[in-house]
Each structure stands twice: as structure tokens, then as C-alpha cells.
Amino acid sequence: MSSGSPIQIPGRLPLLLTHEGVLLPGSTMRTSVDSARNLQLVRSRLLKGTSLQSTILGVIPNTPDPASDAADLPPLHRIGTAALAVQVVGSNWPKPHYTLLVTGLCRFQIVQLLKERPYPVAQVEQLDRLEEFPSTLQTREELGELSEQFYKYAVQLVEMLDMSVPAVAKLRRLLDSLPWNKSTTDRLDIRAARVLLDNDHYAMEKLKKRVLEYLAVRQLRTSLKGPILCFVGPPGVGKTSVGRSVAKTLGREFHRIALGGVCDQSDIRGHRRTYVGSMPGRIINGLKTVGVNNPVFLLDEVDKLGKSLQGDPAAALLEVLDPEQNHNFTDHYLNVAFDLSQVLFIATANTTATIPAALLDRMEVIQVPGYTQEEKIEIAHRHLIPKQLDQHGLSPQQLQIPPATTLGIITRYTREAGVRSLDRKLGAICRAVAVKVAEGQHREAKLERAEAAEAEGGELSDDAEPQPVSDSGAAGLALPPEMPILIDLHALKDILGPPMYEMEVSERLSQPGVAIGLAWTPLGGEIMFVEASRMDGEGQLTLTGQLGDVMKESAHLAISWLRSNAKKYHLTNASGSFDLLDNTDIHLHFPAGAVTKDGPSAGVTIVTCLASLFSGRLVRSDVAMTGEITLRGLVLPVGGIKDKVLAAHRAGLKRVILPQRNEKDLEEIPGNVRRDLSFVTASCLDEVLNAAFDGGFSVKARPGLVNSKL
């Protein structure tokens, strides 16, 4: 180490007399102070001093301090140690005393004792040379050499482990296999990333925009922590495949962790090595699999985590998905901190209702809605049909599915927000065509063999009699089907059977007391019929269809509002009374009784259904509605507008009634859907009824009434 400027201790030092041994330069010692002179030194010098010089004192070894202040000092050793007082701790039990923590600096020699009271002070001469630690380049190089030596010694200590012990050998292999400093270089070309995302996925503009934003920020700041994204949407819309495309776009490794049904926190944090059969958690195992410390981790089905006596895995994920904590993630098995801050976590879920609030707060939620019919047709012809043709060994020259047939599959054989069922139906078509193609190749081979045999046999002899050809033989030599095989609606019915879904809307609204509502489910939006009937009774309201408490309250709100406005709209029961429940029972039913239903958005539908029942008028067959109601007749906003509107569009409806405060949500609806539908925004139930009935539902005076003169 190069020499720096020397440091001088003060020429006058207070002396601390101790009998507890010798304090060496560079060492640390605790000493007890309970004599009169030493107590006075601590109180006057150390506790009241405000400078660094006031904490430097001289320690004289093997010299007891007299108990009385009046007694003379014993003979002092001429050599002592200059010390720095690091800590002072005092106590009054059993008697006043202090405990000093001192660090030795250098030796000194007493030149002259200047005073003895209240504590001894001497003039000293420094014997050792103190050097200031230089902050030079050479020092850094020496520290670098020291760190390399430390690393070598640490490796030697690890190699000294007994590898014959299975637990030690397993831990050593795990430590060696983890990517502590290995990472991949991100591809940050935004144009190429946009082209790749557009080629892999149709629509999904929000997801693509968020990925491109991340790439742009990574170009400007290389030390960006990995974001925590959560894709929420119905099944089959491509949430998992988007995660793969994100990894492909960034040039990173991809690893999927399925969390559905996980109910043990050890799956996330790992088991402690004290347990038999212990193993690391899925996070550390995933890092071992991919071999880099900055992969893309897909946490699939995070909304389906369980909870048991073994802990709550959702709580264990709080540390993993928190950017402020995951740089120091500690697996119980590994028991060594690992940096997860460069990992890009993507979670998928069907709904946020079952995700704990604390976990949801740590993620950036991006909604992934269902597809429109036009988007499904594009996805089918860009991705699904080529994939199914390749999987079944077919080519476009052998099978063609026109867009009209694809639309027929979407509308008559599937009813979903995603494209998973559509993919299965296309696979069924490909299998049926593969049978035809295989049979055709077999027939071609039989025809060729028959022609070759006829050519070799030549003319028949005179004695030979011609053999008749059976019908089965003729059928076996039938010509193969012409290529390409075109699938039309008739062929679709032969392959997939009769249609599973029919447009039954107009048939079901052929009598009063029926209205169409819009509902949101984790599988996407759905249309929902509400049916009502009345009969003689005692004024009871019956609700069926597995309804939740909120929906039951909406039904009671609807009947209360109609009873209070019965005269206004001239609504009467069977006996002509404005008291709608007078000797009348009402039954409200929500079909699909095996499905549990709840939520406030059916309020306007129930009001419209009951208004149709008591007025005897039919609700328009092309109208669907959603919205929460109040007792005063106001219409309040609800959620899931995009999924509900897409469900109405799939069902072939033409008009949708929405709360006025949900008008802002129409901006997310695709343009072609907005052109096919007409939207009516309502702030009160009067506007809802006027839009739901042909000619409106205006207030009318009761015909035939004459004001009484009596």
C-alpha cells in the first residue's frame, strides 16, 4: 500500500488507568470505569466533548486507579496506547459505573505528567506512524486483487464440502446450475417487434401497445425493472400465446408456471431442507430450467390459487411480484437471496374477483376482451386453418373452407368469447376430409392395379367366359373425390351434425312478460332471458333460477318501482286494480337454472319484463339491455360493457340499451360492431321503457274516465 500523509495524535492526552490488560493498536477492548478519576474523565471529557479530538484518550495498562480522589497516583507505565472511544454505556446499579468500547490507534510515550486531578493529563510523544488510507487507483487494484483472492478461498471452501452426503451434493448441484450472472440480450427493434406481434396475433391492440411501450423505455433506460403484467379475459382469447410472443419478441427465454389448484406456499418459496423430500420452489426450478436470470415467466391461472393448512401461495407471491422486494428473493431450500428484478412476470386470469386485493395491487391489469365475429373469421383463416391443415397432413389444394362456412361454424356451432371451440370444430372438419383423401388414394391405387392387370392379360380366349363384376367391386373402384374439397353449409351439416345454436330470440319474445338482458361471466358476455308470469294468489313474489342476493334485491326494487308508478303507466293486474300485487302472485324466472346468477345489472331488464307483463305489450325482439336501478327510477352504470355488447352482436340483436354513464365505454367497441348496432343511453327508467317497446311507453290517460261532478 502506498504511503499517505502521516496522522498525528494530540500532544496532550487524558489518561485512562485500567488493570484489565494491554490494548494493542488496531484491536478493540471493553473496559469498566468505576473509580473516581476515571469516572470524572468520562463525564468531563467524553460525555461533554463535541469534537473527534475529545474522544481520543491514552490507555495505561496494568495500573489500578485509586478508589479515592484524594489518594496519590501509583507509578505509571511510561508506554501506553492512544485509543478512540467508540461507545459509552452507563448504569447506576449496583453503583454508578460506565463501560467503554475503545479501539487502539498507536503507541505513545509519557514525556511529562501535567496534572493528576480531576483526572490525569500527560504530555506524550507518538511512537507509531499512522497513515491516512489513500483513495487512489492503486488502492482499487489492490482491493480487486483482494476480492479475487477471497473468491478463490471461497471456492476452495465450497470444494471442501463432503459430496458423499446426498443433501450436500444436491444443494451444490443446484447452486452451480443457477444463472447468477447469465442473461440474454434484449432485442429492442420496435419496428421488427410490431411486425412480429401483428403476424402472431390478430387484434389485441392493448397488449401490443403495452409491449411496444416496454421496448421503447428499455431503449432509453437499460436498467429498467421487469414489469408485472396481468392479462385478464375469458378462456381461448390467446392470453398464454401472447406471453410466448412477448418472449419471442424480446429474444428471451420463456417458462410457464401453472398455478391452478396450487394450495401450498412451498410450491412458490420451496421447502426447508430439514424436511424429507424437500425441493426448491417453482420459481427457482424455472430459473434452473431456462438457464438465464432475465426470462419471461408466465404465471398461468393466478386467479385459481387455493389455500390450505400448508399456507397461502397467494401471500407467497407478494414477494415475487413486488418490484421493491423481488431483487432479494430467498427460497427456503436455497436459503440464499436471488435477484428476480430482471424477470418479466406475466400473469393470466379469467377474473379479478378471486385474486386477493394485495396481490392484485402489485400487478398491472390489462383486460383482454372476447373477439367479434369478423375477428374470429380473420383468426381462423390466418392461424387456425393453416395449423389444422398442417397437423392433419392436408394442404390448401386438398381442402378449402370459405369465409361463409367459417361464419356458419361461429354462429351455429360455437358460442364463446375465444376461439378454442372454433379450433376444435375446424379439427373435426380436417379429420373428416383426411378420411376422404385417404380413401381416394386407396381407390386410385386399386384402379391402377386393375388397369395394369388388364394390360398384361391381353384378350380373353374363346373358351374363357367373362366374369360378372359385382356391385361391391364397382363401388370399390369408384373414382376418388375431386380436389380441392370445398366445405359448404351442406357439407358442414354432414360433418358436424345439426346446428347446436339457433337464433331463437324472436320466437322467445312472442308473448308479453319476456325481455332480454346482458350478463357478464368469466367466459365472456352472454344474453339472458327474463320471463315473468302472474296468477291469482296472495301477493307473493317468487324468484327462480339460482339467483344471488343482489339480483333478488333488484327484483324487489323493480316491483316496488312499478307499483308506485302503476297509475302513471296505467298498469293493472288481472282484476283491473292498480295495486299490482292485489290478489296476484308474480313469478320471475331466469332460464339456465343450473347456472348461479348474481349482480345488479339485471335491474332494467326485470323492470321491462314486468312492465310488458302488466301492460300486455311485447318487448321488441331485437333489444337487449343492462343497467342497475334505484328506487327512484334512476339507471346506474355497470361493468363489462364491451363483453356484453359483443354478446348482443353475436346473438343478432340490433339495439342495446345502456346506462348513460357507460357511454364512455363505447369507445372500446370495434367500429364494425358499432355500425351494426344502435345504442340508446338512458339515465332513468322512463327512457328505458320508451326504447324497449315499439312506439314508446309514454304516459297515457286512462280511456273512458269522466271526472265526477259529485
- The pLDDT value recorded for residue 473 is 40
pLDDT at 284 over 90: yes
The arithmetic mean of pLDDT across residues 304-332, rounded, is 88
Whether residue 399 contacts residue 495, with contact meaning beta carbons closer than 8 Å, is answered with no
| Cell numbers linked to 594 | 343450473
- pLDDT bucket at 382, cuts 50 / 70 / 90: very high
Pick the CATH number of 371-440+483-502 from 3.40.50.2000, 3.10.310.40, 1.10.8.60, 1.10.1740.10: 1.10.8.60
**Is 58 known as a binding-site position?**
no
**Is 237 known as a binding-site position?**
yes
- pLDDT bucket at 634, cuts 50 / 70 / 90: very high
**Is 604 known as a binding-site position?**
no
pLDDT at 132 over 70: no
What angle (nearest 5°) sits at the alpha carbon of residue 176, between those of residues 174 and 181?
115
CATH of domain 504-692: 3.30.230.10
Q: What is the pTM of this model?
A: 0.67
Q: Where in the chain is the domain with CATH 3.40.50.300?
A: 190-367
Which of 288-292, 470-474, 698-702 is the most confident on average?
Answer: 288-292
What angle (nearest 5°) sits at the alpha carbon of residue 465, between those of residues 463 and 470?
165
Phi, psi of 12 (to 5 degrees): -115, 125
Nearest alpha carbon to residue 107 among 162, 62, 58: 58
Whether residue 347 contacts residue 295, with contact meaning beta carbons closer than 8 Å, is answered with no
CA distances from 676 to 80, 372, 639, 654, 681 (A): 98, 12, 22, 7, 16
Q: Where in the chain is the domain with CATH 3.30.230.10?
A: 504-692
* Better-scored residue on pLDDT, 149 or 122: 122
**Is 74 known as a binding-site position?**
no
The arithmetic mean of pLDDT across residues 132-142, rounded, is 60
Count Cα atoms within 13 angstroms, Cβ side, for 577: 10
Digit-coded pLDDT (tens) for 390-424:
999 999 988 999 999 999 999 889 888 889 999 99
Whether residue 480 contacts residue 444, with contact meaning beta carbons closer than 8 Å, is answered with yes
- The pLDDT value recorded for residue 90 is 85
- What distance in Å separates the CA atoms of residue 613 and residue 566, rounded to the nearest whole number? 12
- pLDDT bucket at 458, cuts 50 / 70 / 90: low
CA-based torsion, 420, 425, 429, 431: positive or negative: positive
- The pLDDT value recorded for residue 268 is 93
Count Cα atoms within 13 angstroms, Cβ side, for 204: 31
- The pLDDT value recorded for residue 162 is 73
Cis? peptide before 118, omega within 30° of 0 = yes
The arithmetic mean of pLDDT across residues 68-97, rounded, is 84
- The pLDDT value recorded for residue 143 is 66
Return the C-alpha torsion angle 143, 146, 148, 153, nearest 10: -160
CA distances from 218 to 207, 323, 387, 569 (A): 17, 16, 34, 63
Q: Alpha helix (H) ranges present in 65-189?
A: 137-159, 166-177
- What distance in Å separates the CA atoms of residue 407 and residue 206, rounded to the nearest whole number? 26
- What distance in Å separates the CA atoms of residue 640 and residue 636, rounded to the nearest whole number? 14
Return the C-alpha torsion angle 234, 236, 242, 245, nearest 10: 180
String of DSSP letters for 351-373: -STTS-HHHHHTSEEEE-PPPPH
Residues carrying an active site annotation: 601, 644
Residue partners of 192: CB distance under 8 A and separation at least 6: none
**Is 240 known as a binding-site position?**
yes
Digit-coded pLDDT (tens) for 603-633:
999 999 999 999 889 999 899 999 999 999 9
CATH of domain 190-367: 3.40.50.300
- What distance in Å separates the CA atoms of residue 321 and residue 343, rounded to the nearest whole number? 10
- pLDDT bucket at 167, cuts 50 / 70 / 90: confident
Return the C-alpha torsion angle 216, 217, 220, 224, nearest 10: -140
Q: Where in the chain is the domain with CATH 1.10.8.60?
A: 371-440+483-502
Written in H, E and C, the secondary structure of 2-50 is CCCCEECCCCEEEEEECCCCCCCCCCEEEEEECCHHHHHHHHHHHCCCC
- The pLDDT value recorded for residue 460 is 41
Written in H, E and C, the secondary structure of 47-66 is CCCCCCHHHEEEEECCCCCC
Digit-coded pLDDT (tens) for 258-271:
998 899 899 999 99
- pLDDT bucket at 457, cuts 50 / 70 / 90: low
pLDDT at 650 over 90: no
- pLDDT bucket at 709, cuts 50 / 70 / 90: very low
- The pLDDT value recorded for residue 707 is 44
- The pLDDT value recorded for residue 483 is 76
Please name the amino acid found at residue 527: I
Whether residue 578 contacts residue 532, with contact meaning beta carbons closer than 8 Å, is answered with no
- The pLDDT value recorded for residue 466 is 41
**Is 484 known as a binding-site position?**
no
pLDDT at 348 over 90: yes
Find the helix or strand (DSSP H, E) in which 276 lies: none
Digit-coded pLDDT (tens) for 530-565:
999 999 888 899 999 889 999 999 999 999 999 999
Strand-pair partners of 367: 232
Q: Which long-range contacts (CB under 8 A, 24 or more apart) does 671-676 make?
A: 672/372, 672/374, 673/372, 673/645, 673/646, 673/649, 676/649
Digit-coded pLDDT (tens) for 501-533:
776 565 567 789 999 999 988 777 888 899 999
CA distances from 191 to 249, 383, 443 (A): 11, 22, 52
Whether residue 25 contacts residue 130, with contact meaning beta carbons closer than 8 Å, is answered with no
CA-based torsion, 311, 317, 319, 320: positive or negative: positive
What does DSSP assign to residue 297?
Answer: E
* Better-scored residue on pLDDT, 154 or 253: 253
The arithmetic mean of pLDDT across residues 640-646, rounded, is 89
- What distance in Å separates the CA atoms of residue 424 and residue 272, rounded to the nearest whole number? 44
Report percent pLDDT > 90 for the chain: 37
Whether residue 224 contacts residue 294, with contact meaning beta carbons closer than 8 Å, is answered with no
Report percent pLDDT > 70 for the chain: 89
- pLDDT bucket at 138, cuts 50 / 70 / 90: low
| Cell numbers linked to 193 | 417487434
**Is 238 known as a binding-site position?**
yes
| Cell numbers linked to 103 | 479501539
pLDDT at 444 over 80: no
| Cell numbers linked to 158 | 465450497
Digit-coded pLDDT (tens) for 208-225:
898 889 888 888 887 777
* Better-scored residue on pLDDT, 249 or 52: 249
Pick the CATH number of 12-126 from 2.30.130.40, 2.40.50.140, 3.40.50.1000, 2.40.50.90: 2.30.130.40
Average pLDDT, the chain: 84
